[in-house]
Chain A
Amino acid sequence: MKEVFYPELAERVFWDTLPNGLTLAVVPREGFQKKLAYFVTDYGSIHTHFMQDGKDCEAPAGVAHYLEHKLFDMPRGEVSAEFAALGANPNAFTSYDMTAYYFSGTENFEKCLELLLEFVSTPYFTEQSVAKEQGIIAQEIDMTADNAETRVFENLMQAMYPEHPIRVPILGTRETIAEITPQVLEECHRAFYTPDNMILCVVGDVDAQAVRQIACRILPEKAAPKAQKQRQWQQIMTCQQQAVRDRMEIAMPMFQLGFKCEPLEKGETSIRREIIGDLAAEALFGESSQLYLRLYEQGLIDASFGGGFETADGMAMLTAFGDSDDPQAVKEAILDQAWQLVDQGIPEEDFLRMKRSSLGRRIRDLDSFDSVCFRLCAYHFSGFDYFNFPAVYRSVQARDIQDFIQQVVTKERCCLSVITPAHEEVSEHEPK
Chain B
Amino acid sequence: MDQAIQLLPGVTLRCFPDHRFKHGCLSVQLVRPMCRAEAAMNALLPAVLLRGSRKHPDLRAITLGLDDLYGASVSALVRRVGDYQTTGLYCSFMEDRFAMAGDQILAPMVDFVRELLLEPDLEQGCLRADYVDSEKKNLIATIESQLNDKRAYAMEQMIKRMCSADSFGIPRLGEKEDVAAITAHTLSAHYRRILGESPINLCYVGSAPADTVAALLKPVFSDIDRNYVNLPTQTSLCSQPGGSHTEVMEVNQGKLCMGFVTPVTIRDSGFVAMQLLNAVFGGGMTSKLFMQVRERHSLCYAIGSGYHGSKGIVTVSAGIDSAMFETVRQQILAQLEACRNGDITDEELVAAKQSLRSSLQATHDSPGAMENYYATGTLSGLGMTPDEYADAVEQTTAEQVAQAAGQLQLHTVYFLKGVAE
Contact = CB atoms under 8 A, between A and B. Distances in A.
Q: Do A and B come from one complex?
A: yes
B319 A357 contact: no
Contact of A367 (B60, B145, B367): B367
Contact of B251 (A87, A106, A249, A368): A249
Contacts of A78: 295
Given A84-B354, A139-B320, A353 B249 contact: no
A223 interface: no
Interface residues of A, number: 72
B66 A357 contact: yes
Contact of A363 (B94, B300, B358): B94
A81 B361 contact: no
Contact of A288 (B20, B64, B146): B64
A143 B319 contact: yes
A251 B142 CA distance: 9
Interface stretch (B67-75, B113-121, B237-245, B267-275): B67-75
A293 B62 CA distance: 11
Interface in A322-368: 323, 353-354, 356-361, 363-364, 366-368
Given A81-B351, A299-B137, A323-B145, A136 B298 contact: yes
Contacts of A368: 366
A132 to B, nearest CB: 6
Nearest to B19: A31
Contact of B250 (A142, A249, A304): A249
B351 A84 contact: yes
A354 B68 CA distance: 9
A134 B298 CA distance: 8
Contacts of A91: 285
Given A106-B361, A250-B147, A288-B64, A81 B286 contact: yes
B147 A251 contact: yes
Q: Which of A135, A251, A289, A293 has the most CB of B within 10 A?
A: A251
Nearest to B319: A143
A372 to B, nearest CB: 11
A88 B358 contact: yes
Contacts of B22: 9-10, 363-364, 366-367
A104 B355 CA distance: 10
A146 B298 CA distance: 20
Contacts of A414: none
Contact of B59 (A31, A85, A292, A360): A292
Interface string B223-262: 0000000000000000000000000011111000000000
B321 A106 contact: no
Interface string A22-41: 00000001011110000000
A80 interface: yes
Interface residues of B, number: 67
B349 to A, nearest CB: 10
B63 interface: yes
B145 A84 contact: no
A357 B70 contact: yes
Contact of B148 (A86, A104, A250, A358): A250
Interface of B: 20-23, 47, 58-60, 63-64, 66-72, 92-94, 98, 130, 134, 137-138, 141-142, 144-151, 249-253, 284-286, 291, 294-295, 298-302, 319-321, 347, 350-351, 354-355, 357-358, 361-362, 364-367
Given A10-B22, A354-B67, 12 more contacts: A33-B364, A34-B361, A84-B284, A84-B355, A89-B358, A135-B298, A136-B294, A139-B301, A143-B252, A250-B145, A299-B134, A422-B250
* Closest A-B pairs by Cβ, 5 of them: A360-B70, A87-B354, A84-B351, A135-B298, A357-B71
27 contacts: A32-B20, A81-B286, A85-B347, A85-B351, A87-B358, A89-B355, A89-B358, A107-B354, A133-B298, A135-B299, A139-B301, A139-B321, A143-B302, A146-B150, A146-B252, A147-B149, A249-B147, A249-B249, A287-B59, A293-B60, A303-B138, A304-B145, A353-B67, A353-B68, A358-B71, A364-B93, A364-B94
Interface of A: 8-10, 29, 31-34, 78, 80-81, 84-91, 104-107, 132-137, 139-140, 142-143, 145-149, 249-252, 254, 286-290, 292-293, 296-297, 299, 302-304, 323, 353-354, 356-361, 363-364, 366-369, 422
